[in-house]
Structure 1
Amino acid sequence: MGQLIGAQSSPRSIRSAHLRPELPEVDAVPPMNALEILRETVRILRADPSSFMTILALLVFPVSIALLSNAFIDASIVGALARRLILLAVASGLPLTHFLKQLCYHLAGTVVSSIVCFPLLLTFLLVAKASIAYSVACIYAGKRVVAAEFITMARRIAGRVVTTYLWVCVTISSCLAVFLVLLVAVCNAFAVLMYPPQIIVYPALLTVLVFSMVYAHTIIICNLAGVISVLEDVSGLMALLRSVRLIRGQTQAGLLIFLGSTIGMAFVEGLFEHRVKTLSYGDGSSRLWEGPLLVLMYSFVVLVDSMMSAVFYFTCRSFSMEMITADDSMEEQEMIASKLEDVS
């Protein structure tokens, strides 16, 4: 594990001015596309599987159990919120279809689950993501991951990590609130113009499509901000702004990472809903092995997603520094050219 992961890493060493002294010095990681980031993530996982599997078992697995099983969620609350959303959608002019009902129930379940599981997300999942980012940085630096060193560092960065996470929650909640307000406004505008519900569906779908792109960008920025709060001495709004600057030129790779992670999580959630909550063989014994297996699969997807976010941070930072170097070179060339013109 003493060697740097990724044969394509540059030999020159780059240390960000924002990095804390206790963090290892990381060599430059060249810009990668989404597939290369996935391959790099697999190499990092193979370099130190014990550390990442420990994080998965102790921190990610409990959160996955709570999110998939909905053990702490009252179904009546989800149903009441879903009915309110359905009434709001119908009052806005949308037709009452089976897809609309399922969408409202899914949205209500996601909101209630996020609120109920917030203590777990603020503790277990936040510590898991911080430890994953730190472990990836250690492996890139050719340094052994030591739990005692991470605990010491965690005490110093806990404030800024929590602050950044709260800003992330506010950002995502605001994005969802703006979407709902915009969707209702668009539907009501077409309803006032006396368009039938079958026609109102199309501008509503267009609004959902635009929101999906905005939401994907928001999640990418928020995930990157979480890594930044661990590896750099910034937090909160400044971490989000730093994330926006870093992601320039790497948006496509970030979108593909988000798409792959979302599909993976949705696939496992669908299997858990269908195989564990709905179906069973005979006396229901299938749940005894299918349930833990699907929870483990979901935990692994969360682990890989967090690792890819950390790798994405390093490649974005390297790309950003290369762009700065290129700009400086262009300025120097322009200055030399202007001096030559003055001499001539």
Structure 2
Amino acid sequence: MDQEQEQMQFLGFFGIFKETFKIISTYKEIFTKISLSIILPLSFIFLAHIEVSEYLFGKILDNEDIRDQTPQNTRKYSTLSDLISSEWTYFWVFKVAYFIFFLVLSLLSTSAIVYTIACIYTSKHITFKKVMSVVPKVWKRLMVTFVWNFIIFFVFNLLALVVFACWVAWVDFTNTGVLILIVLAIVYVVLFIYISVVWHLASVISVLEDDYGIQSMLKSRELIKGKTGVSMAIFCFLNICFITIQVGFESHVVIGKHSLVVRTIYAILFFLLLSVLILFGLTVQTIIYFICKSFRHENIDKSLLANHLEVYLGDYLPLKSKDVQLQNFDI
């Protein structure tokens, strides 16, 4: 990173993107190796999951349509019912297997990118072999943070469901009622994005500091203050890009009417775009961590952070927060 630490706080929306492009292009060799080993398989699994899910679900719908046209209490009806039950079982087993593999690769990707960016920040010599030796020691901490994020999102959505149920029970579809619903929907979306941003920053904290799980979520909530707006804006932009790629893949590949050659070309295109987006997004969230530290005048001692990163190569001993942020500095 060629930005001085005290100057990083002034990076805005476009400045963060520029810094991200600069880091990836400067250290393209290590990022290319990480992409080939982890991010490309992650992208492939995600897109393949869309294709396979559409195929399995389509078969279920077709068989259900046939069963609906078949007289009940017949052998054919019973056979179709058994077949549909089996297909639903296969469908959900596939979904669970996909979720497990996707989650593991996501955590591994996050571990690799955050560790790499931190090594670049501290001017440590970094090799692909070193990164891959560290990743297995870090992802378990990220898993704990993810579980807490899942719990928080579950409670949040449960409360949102209760609020919506109260709206249905007590408010009619009048102009005022619809306005209230719109306001509630906006509040829900904003809080959803905020929690997501806090989680992403907590993931970086889980790698670079001793806190993880709920502690990293709480610390992330404090750390992001002052940079909440730009962080949420970047999160929205990246997710719009992600949704665009997903919709494009579904439209041109999964349910597209193009020839096999054209669909294959589209599949490769969206596959590469998704891989680049994942790499870019993980790099951005790590840079935002250092920007938030700079904005709050929490000086990160590079030598101690470098020692912490080196510890990952031996027996894991988490770095204490007080070691990462030795002192506040004034501008």
Specify if TM > 0.5.
Answer: yes
| Distance (whole Å) between structure 1 residues aligned to residue 194 and residue 165 of structure 2 | 22
| Distance (whole Å) between structure 1 residues aligned to residue 127 and residue 328 of structure 2 | 39
| Distance (whole Å) between structure 2 residues aligned to residue 182 and residue 210 of structure 1 | 12
Alignment of 1:113-262 (within 5 A): 117-190=98-171, 195-196=172-173, 200-262=177-239
Cα-to-partner distance string for 1:91-138 (whole Å, 9 max, x where unaligned):
xxxxxxxxxxxxxxxxxxxx9998553212331111011101111111
| Distance (whole Å) between structure 2 residues aligned to residue 77 and residue 164 of structure 1 | 37
Number of equivalenced pairs: 272
The code of the aligned residue for 1:61 comes to: L
| Distance (whole Å) between structure 2 residues aligned to residue 115 and residue 202 of structure 1 | 38
The code of the aligned residue for 1:160 comes to: R
Match of 1:107 in 2: none
Q: Tell me, what secondary structure is at the counterpart of 1:253?
A: helix
| Distance (whole Å) between structure 2 residues aligned to residue 257 and residue 114 of structure 1 | 29
The code of the aligned residue for 2:220 comes to: S
| Distance (whole Å) between structure 1 residues aligned to residue 93 and residue 230 of structure 2 | 31
Alignment of 1:1-344 (within 5 A): 5-6=1-2, 8-10=3-5, 29-69=8-48, 70-71=50-51, 73=53, 74-75=56-57, 117-190=98-171, 195-196=172-173, 200-281=177-258, 283-321=259-297
Q: CA RMSD in A?
A: 3.1
| Distance (whole Å) between structure 2 residues aligned to residue 300 and residue 309 of structure 1 | 14
| Distance (whole Å) between structure 1 residues aligned to residue 197 and residue 60 of structure 2 | 28
Question: Against the structure 1 CA distance between its residues 77 and 60, is the aligned structure 2 distance closer, same or farther, given a 3 Å change threshold?
Answer: farther
Cα-to-partner distance string for 1:14-65 (whole Å, 9 max, x where unaligned):
xxxxxxxxxxxxxx84442121111110110011112222222221222223
Match of 1:16 in 2: none
| Distance (whole Å) between structure 2 residues aligned to residue 78 and residue 298 of structure 1 | 29
| Distance (whole Å) between structure 2 residues aligned to residue 145 and residue 41 of structure 1 | 18
The code of the aligned residue for 1:33 comes to: G
Q: Percent identity, please.
A: 22
Question: Against the structure 1 CA distance between its residues 208 and 75, is the aligned structure 2 distance closer, same or farther, given a 3 Å change threshold?
Answer: farther
The code of the aligned residue for 2:228 comes to: T
Structure 1: 5+ residue stretches without partners:
13-27, 80-110, 330-344
CA displacement at 1:326 relative to structure 2: 11
- Does the Cα contact within 8 Å between 2:298 and 2:329 map onto a contact in 1? no
More moved, 122-131 vs 56-65: 56-65
CA displacement at 1:182 relative to structure 2: 1.9
| Distance (whole Å) between structure 2 residues aligned to residue 254 and residue 112 of structure 1 | 36
CA displacement at 1:199 relative to structure 2: 6.5
Q: Tell me, what secondary structure is at the counterpart of 1:144?
A: coil
Q: Tell me, what secondary structure is at the counterpart of 2:261?
A: coil
- Does the Cα contact within 8 Å between 2:138 and 2:207 map onto a contact in 1? yes
